[in-house]
């Protein structure tokens, strides 16, 4: 394996960057495949006049110096309606002085979903023997990268941390995803995400693991789960609100098909109350009552 470089607590030999919605302010509409070839061509020509996402150039310069291989991976077609979109895209990158790197684009006439196209394009890359980081703004693409074993960051939420604006944030939001069924858990921590993930793994060891997430980890195995950074926050209230926002967006709650029992402030309050109760000595009668209440209960329906 070639030399790798460190970003934060990890080292990456390859960094993959999306364009529209990540580095470029433009973003195709969800039904862009249904547009005529002329309409698609006009969109990408107009994208050539768009400005970079705030701070994208600075971030790209940092990433280019922090990895052996930088790759631009976009869902844009090579050519649409007789217009050379590759030329438009390369000129945009040059105009805004982005680092030189390989540009991967979908073939003309390929109207498959972005995550399918990008998965095939990634398979053409060489030198992926090390640790890979992919930055994208679409959840479906991020899930695909995660299933390939890549580390992922969601744009633009990751930009402040990459810039170092919040080098000492109050805390972080993270997401744990089951690679087999796509169910996820969204949580917050004041420590590093690596440390919190280590704690989750320990909490999943028998006889621990009373929570739905930990039961699922025991069932499917640690190797079938991925953990990724979502964003950081400067204070506890913002951290709580971001946990709620991203937890709902990613459908992390149990009632929505995820593994999270609570989100945000409610989670923090209930956790504090539970910790306080656990410190209180229990009578023998209390212990027997708890045992009787839980006897025969199953969490199987929540971990499948």
Q: Is 1-165's fold the same as 168-280+298-304's?
A: no
Written as tens digits, the pLDDT of the chain (304 aa) is: 334 444 555 678 899 999 999 999 876 655 656 667 777 777 777 777 888 987 899 899 989 988 889 999 999 999 988 889 999 999 999 999 999 999 999 998 898 999 999 999 999 997 777 788 899 999 889 889 988 888 888 888 788 777 764 446 788 889 999 999 999 999 999 888 889 999 999 999 887 666 899 999 999 999 999 998 887 777 787 788 888 888 888 899 999 999 999 888 655 555 455 445 545 555 554 454 445 444 444 445 556 6
Closest of 228, 67, 213 to residue 143, by C-alpha: 228
Distances in whole angstroms, Cα of residue 271 to Cα of each of 210, 233, 238, 265, 277: 14, 20, 18, 10, 10
With helix as H, strand as E and coil as C, how does 233-289 read? ECCHHHHHHHHHHHHHHCCCEHHHCCCECCCHHHHHHHHHHHHHHHHCCCCHHHHHH
Q: Taking the domains of the chain in order of start, what are their residue ranges?
A: 1-165, 168-280+298-304
168-280+298-304 falls under which CATH superfamily?
GIY-YIG endonuclease (3.40.1440.10)
How far apart are alpha carbons 77 and 105 in whole angstroms?
A: 6
Whether the Cβ atoms of residue 263 and residue 239 lie closer than 8 Å to each other: no
How far apart are alpha carbons 32 and 40 in whole angstroms?
A: 7
1-165 falls under which CATH superfamily?
HAD superfamily/HAD-like (3.40.50.1000)
How far apart are alpha carbons 36 and 46 in whole angstroms?
A: 15
């Amino acid at each position: 394996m070639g030399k790798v470089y460190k970003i934060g607590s990890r080292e990456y030999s390859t960094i993959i960057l999306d364009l529209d919605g990540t580095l470029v302010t433009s973003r195709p509409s969800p039904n862009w495949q249904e547009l005529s070839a002329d309409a698609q061509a006009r969109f990408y020509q107009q994208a050539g006049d768009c400005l970079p996402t705030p701070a994208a150039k600075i971030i790209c310069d940092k990433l280019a110096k922090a990895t052996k291989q930088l790759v631009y991976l976009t869902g844009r077609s090579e050519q649409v309606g007789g217009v050379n979109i590759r030329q438009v895209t390369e000129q945009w990158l040059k105009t805004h002085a982005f680092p030189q790197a390989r540009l991967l684009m979908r073939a003309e006439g390929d109207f498959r979903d972005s995550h399918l196209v990008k998965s095939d394009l990634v398979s053409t890359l060489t030198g992926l023997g090390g640790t890979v980081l992919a930055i994208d703004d679409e959840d479906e693409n991020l899930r695909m990268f995660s299933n390939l074993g890549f580390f992922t960051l969601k744009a633009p939420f990751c930009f402040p941390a990459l810039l170092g604006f919040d080098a000492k944030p109050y805390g972080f939001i993270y997401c744990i995803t089951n690679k087999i069924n796509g169910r996820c858990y969204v949580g917050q921590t004041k420590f590093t995400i690596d440390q919190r993930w280590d704690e989750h793994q320990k909490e999943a060891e028998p006889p621990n693991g009373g929570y739905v997430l930990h039961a699922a980890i025991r069932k499917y195995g640690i190797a079938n789960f991925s953990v990724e950074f979502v964003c950081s926050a400067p204070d506890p209230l913002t951290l709580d609100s971001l946990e709620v926002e991203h937890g709902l967006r990613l459908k992390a709650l149990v009632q929505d098909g995820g593994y999270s029992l609570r989100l945000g402030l409610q989670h923090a309050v209930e956790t504090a109350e539970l910790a306080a109760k656990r410190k209180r000595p229990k009578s023998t009668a209390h212990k027997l009552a708890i045992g009787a209440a839980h006897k025969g209960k199953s969490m199987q329906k929540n971990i499948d």
